[in-house]
Amino acid sequence: MLNRRAFLATAVSTGALAASARAQTATSNGSTPRDYAPGGAPVQYPDPDLVALDPRFLKYIPDNTTIRRHYTGTLWSEGPAWNGVGRYLVWSDIPNNVQMRFLEEESRVTTFRNPSGYSNGNTFDFEGRQLSCEHGGRRVVRYEYNGTVTIIADKFEGKRLNSPNDIVVHPDGGIWFTDPVYGILGPYEGFKGDSENKESFYRVDGKTGQITRIYDGMDKPNGICFSPDYKKLYICDTGATHKPDLPKTIRVYDVDGTKLKNSKLFVDTNMPGKGAGLPDGIRADIDGNIWTGCSWVGPGYDGVHIFAPNSDRIGIILLPEVCANLCFGGRKRNRLFMAASQSLYSLFVETRGAHIC
């Protein structure tokens, strides 16, 4: 292990490892497609789809870990969230209008909620209750312990929200969520409808229920996460989904109580020699690194991109599908779950998620 890490560190410093990042459709010897099916051919360690672009990435990836696919058959996987008490992962299959569940103890997948309101992003609050962003009802809801559903937000200033997309919670009880228009563009991921509010992101006060528009200057606010100390907020802008000249970026803000200030560009997702992919779902680890589902470029790019706190891209987890969203889970919160197009993947890493799911 030490010899390999010393070699890789040297390779990274010369740019050799980055230059040799392979397409994700080949195995380690580059001769045959990788077999993700249950019982398929094992992958030679180290997993060739774990690409270090900087020596800092090496400490987060064990030599003897590999990407696993647990399920395939969804239409568009989104919104993974980890329930620490139940030891399960819930995620959304938006077009099929269901939520799926991965049971860790049995390594088994079941249908969790049907219908799901065409849910997208999910999370759990500090009391263990699930929060979901529903395209269908154009709302954010909370599932209570007794099975009832509480509407957290569905309107702002008397007008309907667009289609809440992704969601996080703050220790002060605040619920922050993004609201682009993707779920009302047509019938595939919800219901076609008219936009009544600007594409924005919001905060809901956990005590009063008051909803506040935080910022409406982004084109299409998407993935959202806090830094480990909750002093910064990261938000992905995927405006380029409909106009190529619009942003494919992640912005970072200083959190000032219930408001934000000092908006800065954190990452432009352009990768030399590959192009710029769309940053979608996003999570922070305990060291402040930002793990982002970043795709729509093709082999050698699509998957999860990892950025150091100073915004340097330090590594890539290559996947054979477009990765929409991700979260940390498992008993130690050191298992990265990746909701990618038609499938669910996971990878054990040498760090932990910074937050509860």
Q: What residue numbers bound the domain in which 340 lies?
A: 2-348
Whether 226 maps to a domain, the answer reads yes
- For residue 56 the two structure tokens come to 């800092």
pLDDT digits (tens, 9 = 90+) for 3-44: 445 544 544 543 334 333 333 333 333 446 789 987 788 899
What CA–CA distance (Å, rounded) separates 1 from 187? Answer: 51
Whether 355 maps to a domain, the answer reads no
What total number of domains does the chain contain?
1
Whether 77 maps to a domain, the answer reads yes
Q: Assign residue 304 the CATH number of its domain.
A: 2.120.10.30
What CA–CA distance (Å, rounded) separates 107 from 84? Answer: 15
Strand, helix or coil for residue 168: strand
What CA–CA distance (Å, rounded) separates 141 from 108? Answer: 26
Calculate the alpha carbon distances from 29 to 6, 46, 228, 335 in Å.
22, 12, 38, 26
Whether 255 maps to a domain, the answer reads yes
Whether 208 maps to a domain, the answer reads yes
Whether 112 maps to a domain, the answer reads yes
Whether 105 maps to a domain, the answer reads yes
Whether 286 maps to a domain, the answer reads yes
The tens place of each residue's pLDDT in the chain, 357 residues long, gives 444 455 445 445 433 343 333 333 333 334 467 899 877 888 999 999 999 999 999 999 999 999 999 999 999 999 999 999 999 999 999 999 999 999 999 999 999 999 999 999 999 999 999 999 999 999 999 999 999 999 999 999 999 999 999 999 999 999 999 999 999 999 999 999 999 999 999 999 999 999 999 987 899 999 999 999 999 999 999 999 988 888 899 999 999 999 999 999 999 999 999 999 999 999 999 999 999 999 999 999 999 999 999 999 999 999 999 999 999 999 999 999 999 999 999 999 999 999 987
